[in-house]
Structure 1
Amino acid sequence: MTGQILMVDDEPDAQDLIQQNFRREIRKGVYSFGFAGSGESALDAISHSKEEVMLVLSDINMPGMSGIELLQELRARWPELPVMMITAYVDAATEAKVRELGAEQFLTKPVDFVELKERLSQFVGDTT
């Protein structure tokens, strides 16, 4: 892998869940994760990261800058950066909006980590 996946979520346990469910892949170097607790800190992390961010995995409902606002900003600054959106509040209008704005994937919470691994493999290649 040549870059990192940036997870953006204001929930404190999101980082722990990713680290637990991807522990083998992280240890093998298949995935590298960075974490940001807000849209603003995600933009800062991408701008100042020593490792290239190859994909953003963002919650939609966050205080301050929402995931949708973050997606708009990401598209303006880094139009080729793949973005996957996650939400606990599923509705057709929100899904249509994030797809219209250019999100490559849309996932629901609670996250099915088997499905997430399958979807991530589309961006980073073979994970075995």
Structure 2
Amino acid sequence: MSQHILIVDDEADIEALFRQQFRRDLKAGRFRMEFATSAQQALQIIEGTAGHEIVLLLSDVNMPGMSGLDLLPRAKAVRPDLAVIMVTAYGDIETRRRAVEGGAEGLLPKPIDFTALRVEVERRLVQRRAGS
């Protein structure tokens, strides 16, 4: 089963940035990345994940329409086992509290520290391979 990482962000340049940062992993086929430009689109992807496994959801907090914090409980209702990390330029205490209470495993500040993110991605891939 193919392992996927779902990235949700309304900024147009995010996909290119992530594909560049993880180009070696993607080329080697270690995992695939899917991108959604809205929380609603992300929910559709999560609900229709036939044939692949989403091992990590990275979601921006501030998006038009449904926010990442609103997406979080809805995604967890569909996939309780889904690892979620929220990404935000506004890492205040209230945002962090809401993210953790909603089931997020972490909160990454923008600009994204891709070294730290790579550690998180690797941890999720190893956990899935080990069957936990």
Q: Report 1:111-122 matches (<5 A).
A: 111-122=112-123
Do the aligned partners of 2:69 and 2:99 also contact (CA within 8 Å) in 1?
A: yes
Partner of residue 16, structure 2: 16
CA distance in 1, matches of 2:31, 2:106: 18
Give the TM-score taking structure 1 as reference length: 0.92
Q: Report 1:1-128 matches (<5 A).
A: 2-50=2-50, 51-125=52-126
Following TM superposition, where does structure 1 have runs of at least 4 consecutive aligned residues deviating by more than 3 angstroms?
Answer: none
Identity %: 43
* Deviation for aligned residue 1:31: 2.4
Give the TM-score taking structure 2 as reference length: 0.90
Gaps of at least 5 residues in structure 2 are 128-132
Q: Could you give the per-residue CA deviations for residues 85-123 of structure 1, whole angstroms, max 9, x where no partner exists?
A: 100111011101101111012100000111110111110
Q: Secondary structure at the match of 2:10?
A: coil
**Aligned residue-pair number:** 126
CA distance in 1, matches of 2:38, 2:82: 18
CA distance in 1, matches of 2:78, 2:32: 22
Do the aligned partners of 2:84 and 2:106 also contact (CA within 8 Å) in 1?
A: yes
RMSD value over aligned CA atoms?
1.5
Tell me the amino acid that sits aligned with residue 122 of structure 1. R
Q: Secondary structure at the match of 1:125?
A: helix
CA distance in 1, matches of 2:53, 2:114: 24
CA distance in 2, matches of 1:62, 1:106: 16
CA distance in 2, matches of 1:52, 1:24: 20
CA distance in 1, matches of 2:105, 2:31: 18
Gaps of at least 5 residues in structure 1 are none
Do the aligned partners of 2:46 and 2:75 also contact (CA within 8 Å) in 1?
A: no
